[in-house]
Chain A
Amino acid sequence: MINQISKADPILGITDRFTVKIDFDEIDFKTTKYWADLTLKKFKLGGYVMLKSSKKCYHVIFDSYVSWEENLSIIAWVSILSKNLSLLRYLAMQCIKMSSTLRVAPKGEKPSPRIVYRFGCQDHAIKDFLDFRQLIKRIHRHGKNKNKA
């Protein structure tokens, strides 16, 4: 067994417990939108924003703040109904960490996730999320420039 180690920049992400964040992998835009709409209606989450992280990978962030227990129950509901194995894995990882994380900065060749669709209210959790995302992006850009210099 040989481990090939190559240096790389760490990934930067946003972590918190009260924003509903779902990471859909191996799924197309329409299906992601369908599940986001269904979740929004079922749990009355105000609105959502969809970000494309890479090909067939989407992040969905909802606008209402919820408790950690409710957050987990929402992600679990979506992952069970959608039968998305990678989402189940994501849920398990968040349960271990006791907080949910989404990537903000680029990861290898993947660019940072970009907004592809918005729906409903965007004034609460989404606004805070996007503000914090902006801060992280600025930190990442600045850090990169400094390293180059």
Chain B
Amino acid sequence: MPKTKRKSKAISPKTRWAIKAYVTQGYSANKIQKQLKKQGLGIQRKKLLSEVRKLKNQKPKANPQKYTPKKYRRRVTPKARKPVYSGKHIAVYRYATTWRYKKIAKKLEIPKTYSARFEFYGNGRELAQAVRLSLSGIVPRWEDPFVECHAKDFLSDPYKFGEKGFWVDKPNIES
């Protein structure tokens, strides 16, 4: 069942007037609360104490959380974690080739491989996933062989940055 927020009741003018009267008479907070209860004007003790302090021109209690038992302390929702990046990138590099490039290379009579490189940045999990994806056989396109991108962007659409192909060893050129 979802928790509903408790509505905070404002102190009625009648109660406020009664409190003011009791404070001027020099009543203690306990006594005031008893008197109010008798008259059917009972209010929450926390509100009564803050009202009394206001009337006595006292400073609000410093660090009230300190005196509240842990189980009654207001729960603070943990802040959303900000992604932390060191300025470092993971470089995934080697020679690469694709079927499309092989055809072009054959036509133009140029080497069948090209030097390719991905540079990923992001948090650890995204980096790990991006590297694994690139290891599985996605290589940068030969038109844009040096790709620097956020690992998250690469994971969301890997074919925007590369295409299916192979990472290959340094070509042995025999003439």
Q: Spell out A's residues near B (CB within 8 Å).
A: 1-19, 97, 99, 101, 108, 128-129, 131-132, 135-136, 138-140, 142-143, 146-147
Contacts and interface: CB of A to CB of B under 8 A. Distances in A.
A7 B86 contact: no
**Pairs A-B, 8 closest by C-beta atoms:** A8-B169, A13-B91, A10-B94, A15-B89, A10-B167, A16-B88, A15-B91, A139-B128
B172 A4 contact: yes
Main secondary structure of the interface of A (DSSP, over half): mixed
Interface residues of B, number: 33
B171 A5 contact: yes
Interface of B: 86-94, 96-97, 111-113, 119, 124, 127-128, 131-132, 134-136, 146, 166-169, 171-175
B169 A108 contact: yes
B167 A97 contact: no
A16 B168 contact: no
Given A12-B131, A135-B127, A143-B132, A97 B146 contact: yes
B88 A5 contact: no
A139 B171 contact: no
